């Protein structure tokens, strides 16, 4: 007779772990993939709003004004960035994405009055032409980085880390290093490109101060300088970024995406966005620069509710990456050829996956033409169509954001506050330092009793 | 900002901000071909972001990022420089009469950086097409991840020379403490002698190109390699 334990799956060595060990034993190489963490971590879904009732009064959801205007870079730049909404587009490289996608993103961002950001690989003419407000990243690789493009930018983002791989450099496998990508990055075509994790010309926060001043000098102190951090030691890192002179600090939590990196990095490095926002706000508060240095939060922002919660926790704006790609069709079973939807489930299957599960950005074989450099795949995403989809998505997020803000009685989304939120789980309560719903208890916040 | 009418700028009297504003916006309109900077006293970010065919003479020692992102200008430092001289230079020339600290010529896309003395570690790191000539020695990890261009070293090199090189080529006259991952010595071809000769000539150095060795990428790290030693 078969005993139950004979068919009991091990908790420690479940089917996922067994498959991992068997695969590692077969190939001797770690997995590289795209997008972000797949495991569940405490996130904004673990928070809810205490919208108005008898003790607070709401604003009329469809008639009364709720402002979304957002200004970034007020600390030292002569020309801060003014956006119509507090939802920005994160840095994603030409190379990981096609030129059509970069153009679609630029058009949509311009239509809704927000900014988009370059990435590892430099600024393409398509994205500069299509983006009203473009943030130019200064990355460790410095691929395609040059003073002409620097002076065309509306802001500069000094990238120290990325939520999906804090402490790691970029990666672009050979299939995506096309002639144009290779030329822009000064690399041989088709190589498996691994970019640097440290900047080539400065090390440490004291040097960063001088580097930021160099960029300000070159741009004549006109445009804001952001510093982007992968969320690890957030409190210390935010303070060092502020001390180094950042106008804006961008904190990217571990749910943030990537075009390609080691899976072990994606799932096991960095802290979730939820505690990262709280620590970043505390750091700014402790340095007495709240309101002077703006905070942008990214890493797993998907919905208008996520945006509202990030703002209530103290962020000035959020930044979206993966969700933008999904709005453009990432993980959709079909693409639109201009007249009709074309099913590509079989192409997902060839990658060993299916729509809804795909994370194979690293291959460059994106069935819907988003993360590719192959011309016939790239044409599957036409800029006009993509821009329309992304504009719709960003509009939806904004409507959801203002809906929640009005329900909390706020006439400006930036008036959302911590007091408007409670947590649904003990973990989220502890990480966000919010009371557990229905209680006054904030885990870890109670005074230590003397025995 | 008050306009500076003189071709000689004293940094004891004016700030680096005033100097750079002048270099960015006024030398073109004044058609100046030569500017002298006095009392640099180790200040950072001197003459960064220039984009004019002028000659700038810096009379003394400069700090970090001297001549950063230079285009067109010829900048001569009559002294030593701190970190990352001529970083991300696009074209033109930066000449250091003394010594250079770390990361000299980092990520330079073009132009010529000539250091008459020695350069510290990571000289030519991430080089992207610029040329660097060092009259003396270079420190460890020089030309780390250098992608294109040339590093000519007339003296010795510290540990890890040319680690993770792409297509940049190093020419070295002296001893190599050790080569970095994927870097190897290769035979000199006639085209290599010609390249070295041309760069030495531009730097006004009289060494014979025949005394130089070539170090380039073995290209074993260009693609993922299961059997690569993880210690490299």
Which residues sit opposite B1 in a β-bridge? none
Q: What average pLDDT does range A380-393 have in this prediction?
A: 96
User: Which of B104, B113, B49 minimizes the C-alpha distance to B81?
Assistant: B104
Q: pLDDT class for A449, splitting at 50, 70, 90?
A: low
Quote the distance between the C-alpha of residue A443 and its chain's center. Answer: 28
Largest CA-CA distance found in chain A, in angstroms, rounded: 81
Q: What average pLDDT does range A197-209 have in this prediction?
A: 95
Give the whole-angstrom CA distance, residue A5 versus residue B161: 58
Count A/B contacts: CB-CB distance under 8 Å.
101
Q: What 3-state DSSP class applies to A246?
A: coil
pLDDT of residue B229: 65
Q: Is A187 within 8 Å of B83 when comparing Cβ atoms?
A: no
pLDDT of residue A173: 84
- For all residues of chain A together, what is the average pLDDT? 94
Q: Which stretch of DSSP H or E encloses residue A18?
A: helix A15-27
For A186, the closest of B49, B84, B147 (CB atoms) is B147
Instruction: Enumerate residues 6+ apart whose C-beta is below 8 A from A372.
Output: A98, A176, A364, A365, A366, A378
Q: pLDDT class for A445, splitting at 50, 70, 90?
A: confident
User: Which of A24, A102, A75, A79 minimizes the C-alpha distance to A383?
Assistant: A102
Q: What 3-state DSSP class applies to A393?
A: helix
Which one of B24, B64, B229 makes the best mutation probe of the A interface by having the most chain A beta carbons within 10 Å?
B64
Give the whole-angstrom CA distance, residue A56 versus residue A64: 16
Q: Is B107 within 8 Å of A142 when comparing Cβ atoms?
A: yes
DSSP letters of B179-223?
Answer: B-TTEEEEPPPHHHHHHHHHHHHHTT----GGG-EEEEE--TTSS
Structural domain harbouring A396: 44-432
- Angstroms from B217 CA to nearest CA on chain A: 12
User: Exposure of A449 by Cβ count < 10 A (0-12 exposed, 13-18 middle, 19+ buried)?
Assistant: exposed
Q: What are the backbone dihedrals phi and psi of residue B118, each rounded to the nearest 5 degrees, phi first? A: -100, 165
pLDDT per residue, tens digit, chain B (232 aa), is 444 445 899 999 999 999 999 999 988 766 668 999 999 999 999 999 999 999 999 999 999 999 999 999 999 999 999 999 999 999 999 999 999 999 999 999 999 999 999 999 999 999 999 999 999 999 999 999 999 999 999 999 999 999 999 999 999 999 999 999 999 999 999 999 999 999 999 999 999 999 999 999 999 988 877 666 665 5
Give the whole-angstrom CA distance, residue A253 versus residue A276: 6
Q: What is the ipTM of this complex?
A: 0.94
Rounded to 10 degrees, what is the CA torsion of A6, A10, A13, A17? 90
So where are chain B's domains? 1-96, 99-232
- Angstroms from B88 CA to nearest CA on chain A: 7
Which one of B15, B21, B44, B122 makes the best mutation probe of the A interface by having the most chain A beta carbons within 10 Å?
B44
pLDDT of residue B32: 65
pLDDT of residue B226: 64
Give a yes or no: residue A304 inside a domain: yes
Pick the range with the lowest mean pLDDT from A98-102, A215-219, A394-398, B171-175. Answer: A98-102
Query: Each residue of A238-273: pLDDT tens digit?
Result: 999 999 999 999 999 999 998 888 889 999 999 999
Give a yes or no: residue A34 inside a domain: no
Query: Each residue of A140-183: pLDDT tens digit?
Result: 999 999 999 999 999 999 999 999 999 998 788 888 898 998 99
User: Which of B205, B131, B127 minimizes the C-alpha distance to B166?
Assistant: B127
| The pLDDT of residue A451 is above 70 | no
Q: Is A145 within 8 Å of B167 when comparing Cβ atoms?
A: no
Q: Does A27 touch chain B (CB under 8 A)?
A: yes
Q: Is A188 within 8 Å of B44 when comparing Cβ atoms?
A: no
- Residues of chain B with C-beta less than 8 angstroms from the C-beta of A27: 226
The CATH number that applies at residue A356 is 3.20.20.70
User: Which of A193, A190, A106, A118 minimizes the C-alpha distance to A150?
Assistant: A118
- Angstroms from B130 CA to nearest CA on chain A: 11
Please name the residue of chain A whose CA is at the shortest distance from the CA of residue B25.
A220
Q: Does A187 touch chain B (CB under 8 A)?
A: yes
Q: What 3-state DSSP class applies to A107?
A: helix
Q: Is B69 within 8 Å of A217 when comparing Cβ atoms?
A: no
Q: Does A146 touch chain B (CB under 8 A)?
A: yes
Please name the residue of chain A whose CA is at the shortest distance from the CA of residue B84.
A201
Query: Each residue of A285-343: pLDDT tens digit?
Result: 999 999 999 999 999 999 999 999 999 999 999 999 999 999 999 999 999 999 999 99
Give a yes or no: residue A313 inside a domain: yes
């Amino acid at each position: 007779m078969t005993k139950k334990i004979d068919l009991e799956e091990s908790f420690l060595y479940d089917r996922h772990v067994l498959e991992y060990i068997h695969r590692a034993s077969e190939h001797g190489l770690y997995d590289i993939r795209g997008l972000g963490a797949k495991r569940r971590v405490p996130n904004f879904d673990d928070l809810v709003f205490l919208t108005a009732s008898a003790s607070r009064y709401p604003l009329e959801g469809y008639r009364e004004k709720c402002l979304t205007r957002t200004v970034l870079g007020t600390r030292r730049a002569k020309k801060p960035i003014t956006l119509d909404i507090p939802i920005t587009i994160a840095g994603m490289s030409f190379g990981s994405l096609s030129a059509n996608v970069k153009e679609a993103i630029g058009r949509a961002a311009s239509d809704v009055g927000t900014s988009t950001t370059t990435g590892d690989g430099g600024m393409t003419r398509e994205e500069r032409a299509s983006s009203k407000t473009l943030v130019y990243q200064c990355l460790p690789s410095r691929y395609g980085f040059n003073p002409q493009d620097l002076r065309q930018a509306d802001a500069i983002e000094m990238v120290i880390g990325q939520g999906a791989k804090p402490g790691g450099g970029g990666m672009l496998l050979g299939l995506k290093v096309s002639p144009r990508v290779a030329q822009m990055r000064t690399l041989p075509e088709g190589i498996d490109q691994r970019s640097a994790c440290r900047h080539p010309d400065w090390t440490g926060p004291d040097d960063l101060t001088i580097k930021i001043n160099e960029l300000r000098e070159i741009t004549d102190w006109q445009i804001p300088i952001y510093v982007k951090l992968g969320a690890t030691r957030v409190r210390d890192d935010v303070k060092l970024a502020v001390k180094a002179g950042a106008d804006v600090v961008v904190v990217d939590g571990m749910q943030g995406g990537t075009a390609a990196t080691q899976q072990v990095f994606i799932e096991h490095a960095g802290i979730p966005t939820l505690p990262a926002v709280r620590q970043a706000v505390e750091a700014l508060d402790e340095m007495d620069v709240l309101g002077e240095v703006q905070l942008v939060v990214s890493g797993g922002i998907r919905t208008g509710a996520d945006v509202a919660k990030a703002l209530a926790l103290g962020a000035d704006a959020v930044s979206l990456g993966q969700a933008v790609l999904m709005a453009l069709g990432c993980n959709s079973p079909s693409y639109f050829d201009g007249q009709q939807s074309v099913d590509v489930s079989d192409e997902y299957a060839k990658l060993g996956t299916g729509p809804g599960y795909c994370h194979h950005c690293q291959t460059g074989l994106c069935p819907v033409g988003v993360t590719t450099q192959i011309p016939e795949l790239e044409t599957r995403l036409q800029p006009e169509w993509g821009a329309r989809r992304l504009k719709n998505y960003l509009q939806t997020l904004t409507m959801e954001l203002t809906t929640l803000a009005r329900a909390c009685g706020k006439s400006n989304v930036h008036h959302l506050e911590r007091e408007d939120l409670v947590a649904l789980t003990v973990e989220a309560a502890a990480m966000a330092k919010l009371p557990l719903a229905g209680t006054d208890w904030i885990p870890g916040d109670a005074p230590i009793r003397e025995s | 900002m008050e306009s500076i009418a003189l071709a000689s700028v004293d940094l004891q009297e004016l700030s680096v901000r005033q100097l750079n504003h002048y270099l960015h916006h006024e030398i073109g309109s004044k058609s100046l071909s030569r500017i002298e900077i006095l009392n640099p006293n180790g200040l950072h970010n001197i003459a960064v972001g220039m984009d004019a065919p002028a000659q700038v003479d810096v009379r003394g020692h400069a700090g970090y990022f001297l001549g950063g992102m230079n285009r067109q200008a010829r900048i001569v430092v009559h002294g030593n420089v701190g970190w990352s001289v001529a970083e991300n230079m696009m074209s033109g020339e930066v000449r250091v009469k003394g010594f250079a600290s770390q990361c000299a010529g980092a990520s330079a896309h073009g132009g010529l950086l000539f250091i008459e003395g020695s350069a510290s570690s990571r000289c030519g790191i991430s080089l992207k097409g610029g040329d660097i000539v060092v009259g003396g020695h270079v420190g460890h990890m020089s030309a780390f991840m250098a992608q294109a261009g040339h590093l000519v070293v007339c003296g010795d090199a510290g540990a890890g020379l040319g680690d993770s090189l792409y297509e940049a080529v190093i020419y070295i006259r002296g001893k190599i403490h050790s080569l970095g991952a994927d870097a190897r010595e290769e035979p000199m071809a006639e085209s290599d002698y010609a390249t070295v000769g041309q760069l030495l000539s531009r730097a006004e150095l009289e060494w014979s190109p025949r005394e130089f060795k070539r170090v380039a990428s073995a290209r074993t790290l260009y693609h993922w390699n299961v059997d690569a030693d993880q210690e490299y």
